[in-house]
């Protein structure tokens, strides 16, 4: 299922207003696939890939549409986690500054 809320991470409001959903979906999926390719390269660099086939067994038979939805959901979750980390870092910095004054 295509989640239009994730489009705001990739497209400007003007692009969303002027491009049709099928065109945006194509661009979004291409950017997501490119990002996944970069992640695979990083994993190879750390000798963490390829994943042994037995670890992939739970995903056997998963269709592409479901897999893409799962990845989109993970991307959304990762974005929320990044925001929480930034909030915690700001709070820590503020606390350190407050404690440093005393």
pLDDT along the chain (102 residues), means of 10: 71 91 88 88 85 83 85 89 96 94 70
Q: Cα 27 to chain center, whole Å?
A: 15
pLDDT at site 2: 61
Close Cβ partners of 72 (under 8 Å, ≥ 6 residues apart): 3, 6, 32
Query: In b/e form, how buried is each residue of 82-94, taking b as 16+ CB within 10 angstroms?
Result: eeeeeeeeeeeee
pLDDT at site 83: 96
pLDDT at site 98: 92
Helix residue spans in 1-102 (DSSP H): 13-18, 21-45, 53-56, 64-101
Please state whether the predicted TM-score (pTM) of the whole model is above 0.85.
no
Q: Whole-angstrom Cα distance, residue 2 to residue 92?
A: 37
Report residue 53 as tokens. 């086939």
Whole domain around residue 20: which residue ranges?
4-101
Number of domains, the chain = 1
Report residue 32 as tokens. 């997501």
pLDDT at site 1: 52
């Amino acid at each position: 299922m295509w989640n239009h809320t994730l489009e705001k991470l990739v497209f400007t409001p003007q692009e969303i207003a002027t491009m049709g959903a099928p065109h945006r979906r194509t661009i979004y999926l291409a950017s997501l696939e490119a990002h996944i390719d970069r992640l695979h390269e990083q994993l190879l660099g750390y000798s963490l890939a390829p994943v042994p086939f037995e670890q992939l067994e739970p995903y056997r038979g998963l269709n592409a549409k479901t897999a893409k939805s799962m990845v989109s959901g993970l991307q959304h979750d990762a974005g929320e986690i990044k925001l929480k980390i930034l909030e915690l870092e700001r709070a820590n910095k503020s606390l350190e500054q407050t404690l440093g004054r005393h």
